[in-house]
Structure 1
Amino acid sequence: MQGRVTSAETGAPLAGARVSVAGSPVVALTDEAGAFTLTGVPAGAATVTVSYLGLADTSAAVEVAAGRAASLNIALGGEAGVTVDAVVVMSQRIAQNDALNRYRNSDAIANYVAADDIGQFVDQNVAESLQRLPGVSITRDQGEGRFVSVRGVGPGLSTVTVNGMRIGTPEDSDRAVPLDVIPSGSIDLLEIVKVPTPNMPGDAIGGSIDVRSGSPFNENQNYNFRYRLEGSYSELSEDFNPEAA
């Protein structure tokens, strides 16, 4: 059985949702595109339940035929309106739900920063975005964050990957990877694994940092634009510095 889990309100895919079959040990987690695959589902009528932090659990009935792949798409949220005394708007709630779901389903001790969280701050690069996570500090160069230290260990003892691919360092005498070259507006998710699991490289003594860029396959809309406008004024030089991304 395979399918996709999306948000009923925005149509965006929900990564890290837990999909289970009632009365069966079969469980799967959705990937970055919200897709899941359940193997070993017994033939006959089955009830599939989807759990996602911040949204109510949703169940759906599906008929599974022997030797044939069943398909099921589920949209979470969009429940009927209820009467409340007050409404509190939190712009970072969606990003927090995304990060907490990934943390809950992770096999390692990890922290995440979603793109919606990054957009709330004035961070110029990935290093400055990572400093907001617990146990992470940065080294600045000319006032801008450059190297990342995890759990107090030197930056040279942490590994850095981009979309899972290991990258090197241009430094001639250090293993530390400068992260000031990656602007914060070009990424979709930041992940730091502080205690690597056995399937990860063993040289990540401090931690493993994974920078994930955005992908058009993770979007459900025909058009999706993300822009950022900033401006700063220096009193000493009396200069105004605009920036757009």
Structure 2
Amino acid sequence: MMLDDHEKTDQEVIALLQALGKAYLENNENQKAADKFRQLIDQGVADAQIYRDFALALARSEALHPEALTAYRCAVEENEDDQTLYLTLATLFLKEEVTEEPALMVYRRALKYAPPFAEQLQLAIESIFQTTTDTITVPELRQTLLEAADSPDLLNLYLSTAWQNERFDETVSILKDLYVKSQHNPMYLRALCETLLEKKARADLKGKPFSLSYSDAQHCLRYYSLDQPLEHIREIEGYLDLKDLLLSL
């Protein structure tokens, strides 16, 4: 089917805007590049590449206004693996001490590329974990931990800060979800059991009652029924504590 003149003109305009945006971006004329990509997005023409280029143009301009943060979130959602994007965003976020979404995801993904500022990224992640969910959204936290299934250190860091701040109910909910979404990765099941035991220990210290829900009990039984030996004192003590709790249900 032949395109009418109007459709042909629209496509030509879109192609020209994309070409101009790319050219400005390559020449480090970032404000001009951002203007072109913004026009494309405003016209409803946006894909992973446009979101990525728009985010780069804004980040190189060190923009952190609401529109820029929205653009960064879109770019992160659409581009999971892009070294230039994540190192550029991470550099800006570290400089300006950004903690709101999508900072956690940016820092975590930037670590994959082993940048020279990896230690700063680790400290930034720890700082975010220390905050409340007013700063970090639960979906962002879930996705970050799910992507880090091969990195128990990140999960342990989250657990230590969550326990320190006694965010037990939030943590239990997140770990249950991660266990399902990871197709039953035992790492999350173990973390769930340890979190429940830590919650019990804190309650005991304060002389407060502690109860285990039937659902939580089933998760713990599932973990300890896995074919793996109890090798460490903490594991054995935890198993015995859980047995006592289960008997009290």
Which structure's residues are more often helix, by fraction? 2
How high is the TM-score relative to the length of structure 1? 0.23
How high is the TM-score relative to the length of structure 2? 0.23
Which structure's residues are more often strand, by fraction? 1
Higher Cα Rg: structure 1 or 2? 2
Q: Which gives a bigger RCO, structure 1 or 2 (Cα 8 Å, sep 6+)?
A: 1
